[in-house]
Amino acid sequence: MAIKPLALQQGDTVGIVTLGSPLDADVINRRIAYLQSMGLKVIAGKYVYAQNGYLAGTDQERAEDLMNMFADERVKMILPSRGGVGVEGILPYLDYDYIRGHPKIVSGYSDITVLLNALTQFSGIVTLHSLLLIDFRPGTPPYNFEQFFTATSSVVVPRPLNNPPEKPLSGKVPGSASGPIVGGNLTSLVGSLGTPFEIDTTGKILLLEETHEPVNTVYRYVEQLKLAGKFNDCSGILLGECTNCMDAYGQTYEDLINDFIVPLGKPLLTNLASGHGVYKAAIPIGAFANMNASNGLITFLEPAVRY
């Protein structure tokens, strides 16, 4: 069974790190203030405001910030400011054995996907495909906060995943699948192939979502995952949105799903609100779940946190 971090409570301390691309200091400070207004304390990493071209400091500096948050006994949750690019660069500099003994809530999406899965795979801790610091602002839908705080504070199971009412899950290939959920952003996962941090989908439910890519590029990434055996190994497929993805050659994202993913024959649910979309479900990475593509249901059988 996966290792679970302690649940988040009112007044707990959140560690803010920037692990990929830099983010404007004014934006970081406004988001921190909003987080504090929700009753949480904040500690900012040494390099959270750093800028090194398209990276927020060197790989070693960003990794140091993250490890310092795992070591700080005051910190209950680690919240990256954003994704962007470059998160994979910190992975070789992390102490996964130490992290295993000092689990913390880690949340994010986009390029943070590679970190979430690496922590689950090599440290055995449950992570959370959910909000980043940039999402803590007045315009964020209440659904997103409800999902986030339920996942980070509740140990009640079984717990159904409730998509927004206007966005029902759609079963494309009937059947059920069980296993830990892994995955996240498609581009980030493809980037892990052929590295020591390649995602392991064996017996797991594979979550995929994407943003701002033309459909022919999405096809290329899906085909690469297929050739790498990631669909053969998984027990089921859970597809999020392809947010602002452009049609190509008259083909849509829905066409790609029907033409190239449905024929894989794995239980398949689509239309999950996650990642880059307006609505963001909170998905525990590494926690055991069941998906029923015949009934359009996802049920978490294991919480993301413990008391």
Q: Hey, which residues are catalytic here?
A: 110, 209, 276
Measure Cα distances from 106 to 2, 76, 79, 246 in Å.
Answer: 14, 9, 6, 31
- Triad 204, 186, 193: Cα angle to 5°: 75
CA dihedral sign, ordered 90, 83, 276, 306: positive
Residue 83: partners with Cβ closer than 8 Å, 6 or more residues away: 20, 21, 108, 109, 110, 111, 112, 113, 132, 185
Burial label, 142 (beta-carbon count in 10 A; 0-12, 13-18, 19+): exposed
Q: How far is residue 23's CA from residue 4's CA, in Å, rounded to a whole number? A: 29
Quick one: which of 170, 245, 168, 235 has its CA closest to 204?
235
